[in-house]
Amino acid sequence: MDNASPAPSAGLLAAIVESSEDAIVSTTLDGIVTSWNRAAENIFGYTAAEMLGRPVTPLAPTERIAELPGLLARIAAGERIVHYRSERRHKDGRVFPVAMMISPIRDEQGRIVGASRITRDITEEQNSEMARRRDAAQLQAILDTVPDGMIIIDEHGTVRSFSATAERMFGYAAEEVLGHNVQLLMPSPYREQHDEYVARYLATGERRIIGLGRVVAGERKDGTIFPLELAVGEVKTEGHRLFTGFVRDLTERQKTLRRVQELQAELSHVSRLTEMGQMASALAHEINQPLTAAANYLQAIRRLLASGDRAARVPGVLDQALAQIERAAEIIARLRAFMRKGESKERPEQLAPVIEEAAALALIGAKERGIDVRLVTAPDLPRVAIDKLQIQQVLINLMRNAIEAMAESARRELTITAEVVGDGMVGVRVGDTGPGIAPEVAERLFQPFVTTKPQGMGVGLSICRSIVEGHGGRLWTEANPGGGTVFAFVLRAAQ
Binding site for ligand ADP (CB under 6 A): 397, 401-402, 405, 432, 434, 437-438, 441, 445, 450-453, 456-461, 485
Question: In the complex, what is the shortest distance from the CB of residue 456 to ligand ADP, in angstroms, rounded to a whole number?
Answer: 3
Question: In the complex, what is the shortest distance from the CB of residue 284 to ligand ADP, in angstroms, rounded to a whole number?
Answer: 16
Q: CB-hemisphere CA count at 13 Å for 85?
A: 5
- Cβ-contact 152, 186 below 8 angstroms: no
Q: Which is nearer to ligand ADP, 218 or 434 (CB)?
A: 434
Q: Which is nearer to ligand ADP, 202 or 479 (CB)?
A: 479
Q: What are the distances in angstroms from CA 212 to CA 37, 194, 217, 233? A: 60, 16, 16, 8
Q: Which is nearer to ligand ADP, 178 or 273 (CB)?
A: 273
- Angstrom distance (rounded) from CA 467 to CA 462: 9
Question: In the complex, what is the shortest distance from the CB of residue 495 to ligand ADP, in angstroms, rounded to a whole number?
Answer: 32
Q: Which is nearer to ligand ADP, 183 or 451 (CB)?
A: 451
Question: In the complex, what is the shortest distance from the CB of residue 486 to ligand ADP, in angstroms, rounded to a whole number?
Answer: 8
**Nearest CA among 425, 397, 380, 386 for reference residue 487:** 397
Q: Which is nearer to ligand ADP, 35 or 409 (CB)?
A: 409
- Cβ-contact 282, 182 below 8 angstroms: no
Q: How far apart are the first and last CA of the chain?
A: 105
**What is the three-class DSSP state of 441?**
helix
Question: In the complex, what is the shortest distance from the CB of residue 380 to ligand ADP, in angstroms, rounded to a whole number?
Answer: 28
- Cβ-contact 215, 227 below 8 angstroms: yes
Question: In the complex, what is the shortest distance from the CB of residue 334 to ligand ADP, in angstroms, rounded to a whole number?
Answer: 21
Q: In what order do the strands lie in the sheet with 149-154?
A: 159-162, 149-154, 240-249, 225-237, 213-219
CB within 8 A of 136, min separation 6: which ones? none
The string of DSSP codes covering 194-240 is HHHHHHHHHHH---SSBTSEEEEEEE-TTS-EEEEEEEEEEEEETTE
Question: In the complex, what is the shortest distance from the CB of residue 331 to ligand ADP, in angstroms, rounded to a whole number?
Answer: 22
Q: Which is nearer to ligand ADP, 186 or 437 (CB)?
A: 437
Q: Which is nearer to ligand ADP, 20 or 451 (CB)?
A: 451
Question: In the complex, what is the shortest distance from the CB of residue 148 to ligand ADP, in angstroms, rounded to a whole number?
Answer: 42
Residue in the shown chain whose Cβ atom is closest to ligand ADP: 460
Question: In the complex, what is the shortest distance from the CB of residue 253 to ligand ADP, in angstroms, rounded to a whole number?
Answer: 32
Q: Which is nearer to ligand ADP, 16 or 438 (CB)?
A: 438
**What is the three-class DSSP state of 187?**
coil
Q: What are the distances in angstroms from CA 70 to CA 41, 56, 186, 315? A: 25, 14, 52, 130
Task: Provide the b/e sequence for 296-329 (b: ≥16 CB within 10 Å).
Answer: ebbebbeebeeeeeeeeeeeebeebbeebbebbe
- Angstrom distance (rounded) from CA 473 to CA 494: 12
Q: Which is nearer to ligand ADP, 150 or 405 (CB)?
A: 405
